[in-house]
Amino acid sequence: MFIKQLYTGCLSEAAYYIESNGEAAVIDPLRDIDVYLDLANERKATIKYIFETHFHADFVSGHLDLSKATGAPIVYGPQTVTGFQAQIAKDGDVFRIGQLNLKVLHTPGHTLESTCYLLQDESGKDYCIFTGDTLFVGDVGRPDLAQKGAEITTNDLAGMLYDSLQQKIVPLADDVIVYPAHGPGSSCGKNLGPDTHSTIGEEKQFNYALKAASKEEFIKAVTDGIPPPPQYFPINARINKEGYDSLDEVMQKALKPLSIAQFKELITEDTIILDTRPSGTFTQGFVPGSISIGLDGRFAEWAGSLLPFDVPMLLVAEPGKEKESIVRLARVGLDKVQGYLDGGYEAWKNSGERSDLIIDVEADELMMDIPFDNNLVVVDVRKPAEYAEGHLKDALNIPLSDLPDPGSMANIEDRHNLYVHCAGGYRSVIAASMLKRQGIHNLRNIVGGWGKIKEQEKAEIVKETSVLN
């Protein structure tokens, strides 16, 4: 028996490769499938099945491309309706992989089709369970992702999730390993734990959701305080349900070097110029109108949350990072890249084209400016919960995820001098680039963000106790 968790940090996503006696299965593959094909090839195994735990909302699955490449069927659990050929398993069905059995456990709640897969070893003993978004380490899947127009409610799904956990998961032996689809940082739950795997016994002991005394208590616990899902979730869920272009086709269109003249010719009013260089590099100079989302952070998640899916995109990347940028965009369904600037920003700068920049300031400089500038406005782009835990007095909280909404800047006036910060500096550079694209140029980025601000002796820090309570 061979099991490998293939974890992708920027999406907090875990896919799984299972193998026995030369037969393999892949669970919840990402769109870029080479890692699964290479692993099977290295181990001289044949991929026999592709299992999906549900229609993923936070990334585009590789199920179609992997099936085309291997001939393996795509397997979903009960209550699944797809726009492509798939094998819909029944609750309790067993799939044979070499000397292993993989048992289907239908566990609706996160979504209606959500399904877990219980792996039994060569002796028939329950060994591990692949829980998808039904059960995480320290958390459970959010039950609020029903498609608009559906008659089912969040509370309905939460009730189903309680029944699924109590009837299918909790009765398992304590030593059964839990392999979820996501780890810390994922938006598919409220607050996932720090680990990417656990055991049934550990989850019974430490997972707040499994300790609820009743269904009513469970529903309240899992539905209270769920942050809004990223805007791209329903788009990705639809793509996974209906199908998509192959990644090879996407790469053929996108991985095209463009001269400066060609690059400029493709820029229209709607075109997104995406710069994937590190945020600290971006602030020193960039193509005017560019949006910064660096590969060094939660790139795909922020790209999916902030960028439109229906407009053309041009890429500025560090030389050699163009393919990685395109692949990671494709993981969340952003497929409209028209090409990349050949030679990157350095080529643009060296050609004499006009550039823009963002002024970086240190936290101590902010403290010195506050008493003497009546027009100074601190814009805190962290999440509301982060802001509530502690923020500068009078700071304006505009979460980064809200910036695509023009109304988010309703309280900002032309006379204001904006000082933008997040927790550490990544999100604030994204925010500053988006504000500049909207024509707001009187701004500064606070290097090191809240981490540096709260160290300042003169910082007047307040908390939002009403939110925290």
The domains found in the chain, sorted by start residue, are: 2-235 (3.60.15.10), 245-350 (3.40.250.10), 360-468 (3.40.250.10)
DSSP 11-56: GTEEEEEEEETTEEEEES-BS--HHHHHHHHHTT-EEEEEE-SS--
0.85 exceeded by pTM: yes
Residues linked to residue 360 through DSSP beta bridges, in sequence order: 445
What pLDDT shows up at residue 429?
98
Which residues does the chain have with pLDDT short of 50?
Answer: 149, 467-469
What pLDDT shows up at residue 147?
58
Task: Please give, one letter per residue, the 3-state secondary structure of 160-186.
Answer: HHHHHHHHHHCCCCCCCEEEECECCCC
Q: Round to the nearest angstrom and report the end-to-end CA distance of the chain.
A: 48
| Dihedral (CA of 417, 423, 425, 430) sign | negative
Place of tokens 């010195």: 368
What pLDDT shows up at residue 89?
98
pLDDT tens per residue, range 130-153: 999 999 999 999 999 875 546 889
* Rounded-to-5 percentages of helix, strand, coil across the chain: 35, 25, 45
Query: How many Å apart are CA 185 and CA 58, to the nearest integer?
Result: 12
DSSP one-letter code for 381: -
What pLDDT shows up at residue 227?
86
Query: How many Å apart are CA 90 and CA 277, to the nearest integer?
Result: 47
What pLDDT shows up at residue 406?
75
Nearest CA to 8 out of 141, 184, 194, 132 is that of 184
pLDDT tens per residue, range 91-123: 999 999 999 999 999 999 999 999 999 999 999
Nearest CA to 111 out of 73, 61, 165, 57 is that of 57
pLDDT tens per residue, range 201-212: 999 999 999 999
Q: Dihedral through CA 41, CA 46, CA 50, CA 51, nearest 10? A: -110
Nearest CA to 390 out of 300, 345, 451 is that of 451
What pLDDT shows up at residue 466?
55
Within 316-362, where are the H helices?
322-330, 344-350
Q: Do residues 258 and 340 lie in contact, with contact meaning Cβ atoms separated by under 8 Å?
A: yes
What pLDDT shows up at residue 468?
43
What pLDDT shows up at residue 296?
93
What pLDDT shows up at residue 469?
43
Within 318-440, where are the H helices?
322-330, 344-350, 363-369, 384-389, 426-437
Could you tell me the two tokens for 1? 């028996």
